[in-house]
Chains A and B, each alone.
Chain A
Amino acid sequence: MEIASMQNITKSFGLTRALDSVTITVNKGEVLSLLGENGAGKTTLMNILCGLYRKDGGTILLKGNEVEFSSPQESIAARIGMIHQSFTLVSEFTALENVLLGLSNTPSLINKKKITEEVSVTSRRFQLGLERKLDTPVYKLSVGEQQKVEILKCLVKNPELIILDEPDRLLTEGERQDFFNWLEQLTNQGHTIVLITHNVNTAIMVSTRIAVLEKGKLKATIQAKETSRDELIALMFAEFSPSIHKQGRTQTSGRLLDVTSLKVRDDMGFESVSDVSLHVDQEEIVGIAGIEGNGQSEIAEAVMNLRKKVAGSIKFNGEEISSYPTKQIQKMGITLFGSKNMLIQPLSVKINSVLDSPEDSAFSTHGNLNWQTIAQHARRIVDKYDVRCSGIDAPASALSGGNKQKLVMGRKLEQTPKLLLVVNATKDLDLKSTEYLYGMLLEYRKKGGTVLFISVDLDAIIDISDRVYVINRGKIVGEFSDLTSETKQSIGKLMAEVS
């Protein structure tokens, strides 16, 4: 029996078409997996179903009736519940308090005993095992337990259709197996599940059916029993746009960056980079391909010493730099071009144009700023890199995403760095700005620059890199220097695999 059906759903963000006429149906009691790379449109599709986003076109049928949700509350009323990828828990609150926060009709006077009773019953019924931990602050719970609190938050609203976004992302191998068993029981109790994942193995293991999305298009919907890993991977990475940028690489001369056995922890204290060794030669563009959150950005932050390494060595031109302050590393010619923390938003374009190097002798003498040369510098960046703004005194926050990144790119390139670390710099940008920035990168390489190119966009990596490393769960799992459409499939396979 069909419980929900989404027909010809389209959705665009700016110039990017996130969903292109996607049709899926969800049957009662099944586990439907939405499988695809980052940016394939899986989460967007489900955000539309649960009322977070408005669709641009298409129809949604719930048990045969057309619906149009304008808020998550409406979808909750229709018994759809979504558990998002990033936790929305307040860590100082107890598990119970977090569950209460999620209720739309929290009573103004809370009868704690009664509510504890009710929540315990739900926890027991779904075998979440949280009954004894309801009064524990969330920060004292393990990641697996935190996820269960998130699930409990959803289940107390009594949903029929449950959407889970990458639920196994943070789980250990043991927790993962338990989680899959638990999912099966949930379906046995008559619930229906939509699982968003980029992991082929997960999809095969738990699903009844698998819908493969690529770049906003539905590639196929297959019975899980009748497919294989290779077939799914081929579908996930089916489209391959032949390289337009690629130019013959000049002979490289010498090693620039040499990272050996690097270990780094992320903000949560999790060892997100475990034993990474890689090197970058002069005038080379080296890509690091991987699904978001596999330790890529931590590598770049460790090179800049914005993040302390746990172990390993980082050598630049043969010199160990891992204990140097960030400023000194910048002065040696390494700079980071990322998607966050690049600009001080409320301050002017002018101030931001020298953010990396206000102490440069051109911009200040004896500790006094030379605003005239700084203004000239800002104007030069604005002209040369086509930064559209109302003037150099406009706050950076007034610029569009693409223009912000052009400003950052200009600032970085004007320092003529020896090594540019690019970390998801085109994230959330429209196609035009993305193309422009990639063009600038290649231009910079032509003039003798070197790039470590970290991106979740595999096409872009293959387009502009000379050599590619594949990272998965904090480890380098492959290296490719001959990049063709076949290698793309192998890279995709390595990215999506669970070790």
Chain B
Amino acid sequence: MLAEFRKKIWNTVIFLLVIILMPVIVLLLISSAMELQATDVLSYFFSSTIGSVSGLLSVLDRTTILLILSVGLMIAFRCSTWNIGAEGQMAVGIVGALGVSLFLALPGPILIMLGFLVSFILGGLWGGVAGFLKAKWEVNEIPITLMQNFVALALLDYMVRGPWRSPEVALGRTPFIPETARLPFIDFPLNSAFIIGLVFVPMCYWLLNNTLLGYRLQAAGVDRAAASFAGINVKRTIFLSMFISAAIAGFGGASLVFSEFFMGQSMMTGNYGFYAIVPTLLVGSKVELLPFACFLTAVILVGSLNLSIVGVPARFTLLIMGTIFLGMCLPVIFQRKRKQ
């Protein structure tokens, strides 16, 4: 028993080391391929992320949105519904939050709460379409949610450049939302939505492990036939998993409006709906590890985006990011493969 426990701990330590080591190896390979000084690249990568207070704050800022979105994805993934539409669900949430905060003359706190609520519901309904199609006719949710992204992003784009465009500026963006409806920064650029993200983790843990809904999500996710034989309404569970997951992504969209941008502009979703898939898959079913995984993902995002300063062409940053993510996922894939 003790030996088994020790082995488990040991395995986890090695696993974490490998995951942290992989980005370093990839960075070393890239810098040698681009004939850059490896020490420059690594040290700048470090100082622009966890090596300085401002770096750390911007990493935590990115962690926030990743955390909110991953919690949502986790709920869908637990039921084996593969929601890859968080990006679009976030965009729909942004539209909802803007609609409320730009046009309703209400006291700040009420505006914020209403905005979050509307985004939550709109996001949920948007993703719920894919959930409904899957539950009703077993339509594969992956292409549906993927395609919905483009529609939702185009909708956001249209709204901010069209009817809701600020007349005062040349750029395609909306006016700013009222001062009273802006959430305060903890320490710029880290905003107070970070706290919401942190609160979401234990809530998600509780939902998945200690509630009837979590039980049904897991049962239906692992074995749809056995779950329905036990009387679980599998169709409703599938729909709910998608609805809740998408609603949380919509909620995340609202948090961008109220705590970071204070207005709407196109591309403000910043691909985070896709990046959030990485930490979610990385932790598997362990919700409690999600903050760590999101933090690591944010380090890589911030670090790679800043590499242009040491001479890495900006258009390579996506490539670097992708390669690091792949490298991180390799040990996970191997470990799960071995378990089978």
| List of 6 A-B pairs having minimum Cβ-Cβ separation, nearest first | A327-B231, A341-B229, A355-B230, A341-B226, A326-B231, A341-B225
Question: Which residues of B are found within 8 Å of A306, using beta-carbon distances?
Answer: 228-229
A356–B216 alpha-carbon span in the complex (Å): 11
Closest to A364 in B: B212
Interface, chain A (partner B; CB < 8 A): 304, 306, 325-327, 329-330, 336, 338, 340-347, 351, 355-356, 358-359, 364, 367-369, 371
- Interface residues in B, total, Cβ within 8 A: 20
From B214, B219, B229, name the one whose CB has the most chain A CB atoms within 10 angstroms: B229
Q: Which residue of A lies closest to B224 (CB)?
A: A341
CB < 8 Å: which of B215, B229, B233 contacts A358?
B215
Complex: A340 Cα to B219 Cα, angstroms: 15
B228-A346 in contact (CB<8A): no
CA distance A344 to B223 in the complex (A): 6
Contact across chains for A369 and B211 when beta carbons are under 8 A apart: yes
Any A CB within 8 A of the CB of B280: no
Once the chains bind, are A356 and B233 in contact (CB under 8 Å)? Answer: no
Residues 216 to 258 of chain B near chain A (Cβ within 8 Å): 216, 218-219, 222-223, 225-233
Asked if residues A355 and B211 are in contact (CB atoms below 8 Å), the reply is: no
Q: Given the complex, which residues of A lie within 8 Å of B267, measured CB to CB?
A: none
- CB pair A341–B223 under 8 Å, yes or no, is yes
CB atoms of A347 and B211 under 8 A apart: no
Q: Is A347 in contact with B229, judged by CB distance below 8 angstroms?
A: no
In-complex Cβ contact of A336 among B213, B229, B233 (8 A): B229
Q: Which residue of A lies closest to B232 (CB)?
A: A327
Can you name the residue of chain B whose Cβ is closest to the Cβ of A356?
Answer: B230
> Which residue of the partner chain B has the closest CB to A355?
B230
Task: Tell me the nearest residue of chain B to A371, going by C-beta.
Answer: B210
A346 touches B222 (CB 8 A): yes
CB neighbours (8 Å) of B232 from chain A are 327
- Residues on A with C-beta less than 8 A from B216 are 358
Closest residue of chain A to B218, judged by CB? A347
Chain A residues, CB < 8 A from B214: 369
**Which residues of B have CB within 8 Å of A325?**
231, 233
Rounded to whole angstroms, the CA-CA distance of A351 and B222 in the bound complex is 12
Partner of A369, one of B212, B222, B223, B227: B212
Give chain A nearest CB distance to B216 CB in angstroms: 8
User: Considering the chains assembled together, what is the distance between the CA atoms of A358 and B210 in angstroms?
Assistant: 11
6 A–B contact pairs at CB < 8 A?
A341-B223, A342-B226, A345-B223, A355-B226, A356-B230, A371-B210
For chain B, residues 195 to 219, give those with C-beta under 8 angstroms from any C-beta of chain A: 210-216, 218-219
**B228 nearest CB across to chain A (Å):** 6
Closest CB in chain A relative to B209 CB, distance in Å:
8
